[in-house]
Structure 1
Amino acid sequence: MKHISILIPKGAVALGCIDGSFRVFSQVNEFLRQTDEDPLFSVQLVGMTGDTQVYDRLFSVKPDVTIADVAKTDLIIIPAVNGDMDEVIEANREFLPWIRQQHAGGAEVASLCVGAFLLAATGLVDGRKCSTHWLSEALFRDMFPKVELVPDRIITDEQGTYSSGGANSFYNLLLHIVEKYTNRDLAILCSKYFAIEIDRGSQSAFIMFKGQKDHPDDSVKEIQSYIESNFAERITVDQLTTHFAISRRSLERRFKKATRNTVTEYIQRVKIEAAKKGFETSRKNITEVMFEVGYTDNKAFRTLFKRTTGLSPVEYRKKYNRNVPMPARY
């Protein structure tokens, strides 16, 4: 039997991560019982102390055991904890050496959404891939530069450490773990029971590009604003160097340092974000939206859009535009 330890942290925990994890592994046990097989998982809620934690002022969660009571476990699940991440890590610091010790003893560790900050604070994902909520990308990169952040991923599976992307994508990670620990059939059964789309690999379609502006370089901010106000034009790096009287080398260096994007990447992301809005809110066809955001090469636009969002322009429009006719039902 595999021992599952769901952490009960201090702070603004996303209660659904705790409840969802408990229910998925408990339901797998129930499926096994229905076929006269022995349950596979022993699921416990584990706290730093035995104190009841209150989330969202209304919901109380009492740990089954404390970390001192758990000599060995097979899987540690770190739920999402929101708020000031330095404070979150400090409030839950007692978990970190226990997680490292358990991992050294063979336990796997899975972070859900922004639970990745606590996982990264252990040092276990230094040099490894890790995902988190796309809104937290900039902060995560600042705090944990040694981690290879892949914010477009729904899940990562790296040598005994797992992570999931934003919000409810943690269910996809749970299905992935269920399949690894049991079999494909049980994972599919869980996906159907909980109505979870199985095998989603990317959260790119959900990412909203805001641009990194939490930096002190006012000149770069001015250039960012210019790009965002003129996305319909054909903007080049050379045009920007002339317009703002700055050398190309200086522009590229300062822009990448401030925004974590090259100038070209930033221009592309702004244009694609504008195209997404066009597909979401208008009845215009693909070519019309493409022209409105400053592209004339149909193939190049479609390739860039798919690479950025994970969906083709047609797929994106069908998914997010309520005015697109639904297929006829027979």
Structure 2
Amino acid sequence: MLQIGILLMRHYKLLSLAAITDVLDTVNKIYHKNGQSTPFTIHMVHTAETAHLAAAFPDYISHGIDVATTFNLVLVPSFTTDDLKQTITANREYVPWLKQQYKNGAEIASFCTGAFLLGASGLLDGKIATTHVDACKDFSTAFPAVNLLSDKTVTHDAGIYTSGGATSTFHLLLHLLEIHCGIEIAVRTAKIFAIDMGRDKQSYFSTFQPTRNHHDDLVATAQQRIEASYQEAATIEEMIKDIPSSRRNIVRRFKQVTGVTPIEYLQLTRIEAAKKLLEQTGQQMMEVIFNSGYNDPKAFRKVFRKTVGMTPSEYREKFNAVR
């Protein structure tokens, strides 16, 4: 029987924890109905400050991190807050505990933004990982020693697992079930929860969210120029030519503030515009291409696929609301 510890952290996301327990409970019921021993014993693990949270989960064993228990698998749910730096500080007591569990032989899996707690522990240094697609930039900045694969739904490296955002939780759970219970149970669980198995990418769920909370007027002006004129088939030099600074200085400051170069910013702005047209309109593909600032269909499709992870037609088929 696998001993599983689920962390009851400050600012944990209820949906994440509910998905984890629901899937594990369902598998236990499958085994029980078949007259077999259940494969999982579930523990809710808390600190002194989060002990009160255990009252919401009366059906599970609960105990503090000070209790000497070694788990086979430790699960780190997602967080609700966007202030992940403060959230990690609030949950810092789990960091040495996670490191000790891993040292004792436990596997560890984080879901969505729960990867930030693993990142803070140093256990992901030199390993591959993923997290919510829209949190990847902040994760890379905070933990540069981690090999972040932002487009991946699930990663596994040396006994540490991570998943992408939201419903990617289910894909990681299925992956863990396949490892510990076999493919038959994983497939049966996928059918019960109506999960499409095999999705390994999440890049097409990303939304370009430009950095605006800065105080660099020059960069802000460049951003405004690009966003106001992205539909024009113009070069980036034409868009920023009237800004009173050298191109080299603009590019340097722009990347320092936004994390991308002006030309990358232009491409991301255009692709985001194209995605919205594909989602919300019935425009022909050539109209979408021209209305998002491109005049070369081949170049558009190449950039779109590289950025989004699928072709424009595939994206429209998946997300278009106009039928």
TM-score (norm: length of structure 2) = 0.91
TM-score (norm: length of structure 1) = 0.89
The DSSP-based 3-state class of the residue aligned with 1:232 is coil
Structure 2 residues without counterparts, runs of 5 or longer: none
**CA shift digits 1:179-228 (9 cap, x unpaired):** 12222222111111111121211222221102122333221121111111
Q: Does 1:66 align with 2:64?
A: yes
Tell whether the 8 Å contact from 2:251 to 2:261 is kept in structure 1 after alignment. yes
Over 3 Å counting, the alpha-carbon distance change for 1:242 and 1:186 in structure 2 is: same
Percent identity reads 37
Tell whether the 8 Å contact from 1:4 to 1:76 is kept in structure 2 after alignment. yes
Name 1:199's counterpart in structure 2: 198
Aligned equivalents of 1:255, 1:106: Cα separation in 2:
45
Tell whether the 8 Å contact from 1:14 to 1:81 is kept in structure 2 after alignment. yes
The DSSP-based 3-state class of the residue aligned with 2:232 is coil
Tell whether the 8 Å contact from 1:241 to 1:247 is kept in structure 2 after alignment. no
Aligned equivalents of 1:60, 1:32: Cα separation in 2:
25
Tell whether the 8 Å contact from 1:227 to 1:235 is kept in structure 2 after alignment. no
The DSSP-based 3-state class of the residue aligned with 1:68 is coil
Shift of 1:95: 1.1
Aligned equivalents of 1:159, 1:217: Cα separation in 2:
42
Aligned equivalents of 1:127, 1:266: Cα separation in 2:
29
Over 3 Å counting, the alpha-carbon distance change for 1:273 and 1:246 in structure 2 is: same
| Structure 2 counterpart of 1:82, from 80, 83, 86 | 80
Over 6 Å off, 4+ runs: none
Aligned length: 319
The DSSP-based 3-state class of the residue aligned with 1:69 is coil
Name 2:114's counterpart in structure 1: 115
Name 2:306's counterpart in structure 1: 307
Tell whether the 8 Å contact from 1:271 to 1:293 is kept in structure 2 after alignment. yes
Shift of 1:278: 0.8
Aligned equivalents of 1:231, 1:240: Cα separation in 2:
9
The DSSP-based 3-state class of the residue aligned with 1:163 is strand
The DSSP-based 3-state class of the residue aligned with 1:97 is helix
Name 2:288's counterpart in structure 1: 289
1:209 counterpart letter in structure 2: F
Tell whether the 8 Å contact from 1:302 to 1:312 is kept in structure 2 after alignment. yes
Q: How does 1:134-145 map to 2 (within 5 A)?
A: 134-145=133-144
Aligned equivalents of 1:249, 1:154: Cα separation in 2:
37
The DSSP-based 3-state class of the residue aligned with 2:241 is helix
Name 1:328's counterpart in structure 2: none
Name 2:181's counterpart in structure 1: 182
Tell whether the 8 Å contact from 1:100 to 1:124 is kept in structure 2 after alignment. yes
The DSSP-based 3-state class of the residue aligned with 2:5 is strand
Structure 1 residues without counterparts, runs of 5 or longer: 325-330
Tell whether the 8 Å contact from 2:225 to 2:239 is kept in structure 1 after alignment. no
Tell whether the 8 Å contact from 1:6 to 1:77 is kept in structure 2 after alignment. yes
Q: How does 1:7-156 map to 2 (within 5 A)?
A: 7-10=7-10, 12-49=11-48, 51-53=51-53, 60-61=56-57, 64-83=62-81, 84-156=83-155
